[in-house]
Amino acid sequence: MHGPSSPGWLLVALCTATGTYCLLRMRSAVEEQRRAAGGEALMGFGMAAMAVPATVAAPPRWALIAYVVVFGGAAVRTLWAARSGGHHLHHLVGAFAMAYMAAAMVSSPGHHGHNGIAPVTGALLLYFAMYVLWSGARLVPVAATAGAGGARLVGWGDRQELARACRLSMAIAMLAMLLTL
Average pLDDT, the chain: 82
pLDDT in tens, 88-139: 788 899 999 999 999 988 887 655 545 567 899 999 999 999 999 999 888 8
Q: How many CB atoms lie within 10 A of CB 123?
A: 13
pLDDT value at residue 147? 45
pLDDT of residue 178 exceeding 70, the answer is yes
pLDDT in tens, 139-157: 877 654 444 444 454 565 5
Burial class (CB in 10 A: 0-12, 13-18, 19+), 24: middle
